[in-house]
Amino acid sequence: MKKILEVRGLTKIHGRGCELCLESTGPDMDTNICPHCGSVVACHNITLDLHEGEILGIMGESGSGKSTVVKTLFFDDAPTSGEALFFDGERQWDMFALNAAQQRWLRNHRFGMVYQNPHLGLNFNVSAGGNIAERLLMSDLAHYGEIRDRARRLLARTEVLPERMDESPKKFSGGMQQRVQIAKALATKPPLLYLDEVTTGLDLSVQARILDLILEIQQELGTAMIVVTHDLGVIRLLTGRTIVMKYGRVIETGLTDQILEDPQHAYTQRLVASAL
Amino acid sequence: MNPGYELPLDEAGYSFGFLDEYAKREVRRTILKAISIPGYQTPYASREMPMGRGFGTGGLQVTLSLIGKGDTLKVIDQGADDSVNAVNLRHFVELTCPGVDTTEHTAEATLIQSRHRIPETPLTEAQVLILQVPYPDPLVVVEPSEARRKVMHGEGDYSRLLTKLYEDIVQFDEITISHRYPTRINGHYVIDPSPIPRYDVPQLHQSPALILLGAGREKKIYAVPPYTRADPLAFDDVPFRTEDFTGEQGQRRACERCGATDSFLDELIADDGGKHWHCSDSDYCNSRVAGQAEQAQETWA
């Protein structure tokens, strides 16, 4: 299998940071706030690999830094240190060494992001079709008819009624907004997709259909995905491999089945036990 | 600067052109930068002028910085030389710039300050057109933060502006921007070409005259240098189009005064409710009327 993403030693510290930050935070210290300088170590020394067409889960409680990892990889946030390589066919991108324009290009052409809150991923001042058009326009498509056609097909694929394509997503239900977000993320057929708590806050039947849709897309397009969630059900259903995070550190990695059936770390054991 | 150098002042205590020499120098420097980076909104220290911001202070500062003895100035407001704004600005320049000529004829002018129109008469290489700009940034409709707008301009990211056009076509089957049509200069920066009608936008493209745009309130100057590309934003399959002056009978409407069928027309509503169409450019219309009168006289003589 071909590697698509390689992250090494990714660290993000909010605040000015001090020498003692890293040794006085983490799961062993039971905090991610440095007692000496008050900085927040959102994540430290995150190392992961992602292969083509694979779904990787990042699991952990609120504030464990799992969203931060995805945000830095989508260039929403700049990391404090660390390295990430993105393999795109023959090309290889050193993601954090790129300038803003190159990062934007990667973001628009090669990555997709689905946020927990549709307000982050969608522009509510334009129609659902307009949201997809925006992403297509970002990737330098400037043919109105073709944009419209592709937006219609994408929305149909994510089971949004094409008749509602010219309505504002404001008028949509939460599940439909999430579908529009997924359609928008997929508009440029990105090889890498980040899903940040996509099903949180939706009712169970809607959750199930969104998860089905994500799996279908992964089968169809072979998109590699990083799924961030605190929901063990989502992890079990979608992912092949999982990373468990606590206080900004990776405490366990491995095959999803292994982690769910035979958790090694005390925290993971508690997490799995509490869900069952 | 030389501290011993005294600025030449007139009897009222102002230097030539109202602005002091240092202010004019700064505006000129800004203009040079604006010309060097076509379409880039160059910030400058817009001075207080003896009139309200929004009445053309940006254009006036550019005019006063460029004007010198031997220059001939024309001031237009919505195409007319005789509207209050144009008359007052012209009068102000006459007052503060002794030795400068003013004119109402486009062909005679070396400097043309304009609001909302580009003259019908084609401009030449020897002329400079100065447009007054109320809102210099075309991205302001899609992004409220100026810091982020600057990044978007820098990266040439105008997808959100195009999304706006997309939404227009979806809703109304055409792009509904009537004036201030976003136009890409030299393939990179998109400018707000001031509130000129769509009809005038093609005149920016490869214009022989230098076009300077000054925004006094927003403290920005930008330029369309001579012979520079100016492409109005559009889709590949929905091209940019100008105003349609087709009348009820399907013919191009003509000016009811001079009969011109190649000018931008103003729609006037008469007291009886009837609609009339006149040239918006008063100099163009007047010269045509004068020319026709001359011809008529020759025929009679």
Show which of residues 122-141 on chain A sit within 8 Å of chain B, judged by CB atoms. 123, 126-127, 129-130, 133-135, 137-138
User: Can you list the domains of chain A with their CATH numbers?
Assistant: 3-110+190-275 (3.40.50.300), 119-189 (no CATH)
pTM equals: 0.85
Measured distance CA(A118)–CA(B299) in Å, rounded:
75
CB A172 within 8 A of CB A161: no
3-state secondary structure of A194: strand
Which CATH superfamily groups domain B21-140+180-232? Bacterial phosphonate metabolism protein PhnH (3.40.50.11310)
Q: With CB atoms and an 8 Å threshold, state whether B163 touches A129.
A: no
Residues of B in contact with A142 (CB under 8 A): 162, 235-236
Residues of A in contact with B241 (CB under 8 A): none
3-state secondary structure of B34: helix
Nearest CA in chain A to B158: A138
Q: How confident is the model at residue B183 (pLDDT cuts 50, 70, 90)?
A: very high
What is the pLDDT averaged over residues B8-28? 85
Nearest CA in chain B to A102: B155
The four Cα atoms B191, B194, B195, B199 give a dihedral, to 10 degrees, of -70
- Smallest Cβ–Cβ distance between B162 and the set A137, A145, A146 belongs to A137
Strands B128-132 and B111-115: parallel
Q: How far is A225 from chain B (nearest CA, A)?
A: 26
Q: Which of A56-60, B11-15, B121-125, B286-290 has the lowest mean pLDDT?
A: B11-15
Q: How confident is the model at residue B3 (pLDDT cuts 50, 70, 90)?
A: low
pLDDT digits over B134-176, tens only? 999 999 999 999 999 999 999 888 999 999 999 999 999 989 9
3-state secondary structure of B143: coil
pLDDT digits over B190-203, tens only? 999 999 999 999 99
Q: With CB atoms and an 8 Å threshold, state whether A144 touches B166.
A: yes
Q: How far is B229 from chain A (nearest CA, A)?
A: 19
| Domain ranges for chain B | 21-140+180-232, 265-300
Q: How confident is the model at residue B1 (pLDDT cuts 50, 70, 90)?
A: low
Average pLDDT, chain A: 90
pLDDT digits over A17-28, tens only? 888 888 888 888
Q: Select from B128, B131, B93, B123 the least CA-distant residue to B111.
A: B128
CB A235 within 8 A of CB A226: no
The yes-or-no verdict on residue B301 having pLDDT over 90 is: no
Active site residues of B: 39, 255, 258, 279, 285
Please check whether residue B172 touches A, CB under 8 A.
no
Model ipTM value: 0.82
Classify residue B43 by burial, with Cβ atoms within 10 Å: 0-12, 13-18, 19+: middle
Residues of A in contact with B159 (CB under 8 A): 134-135, 137-138
Q: How many CB pairs under 8 A join A and B?
A: 52
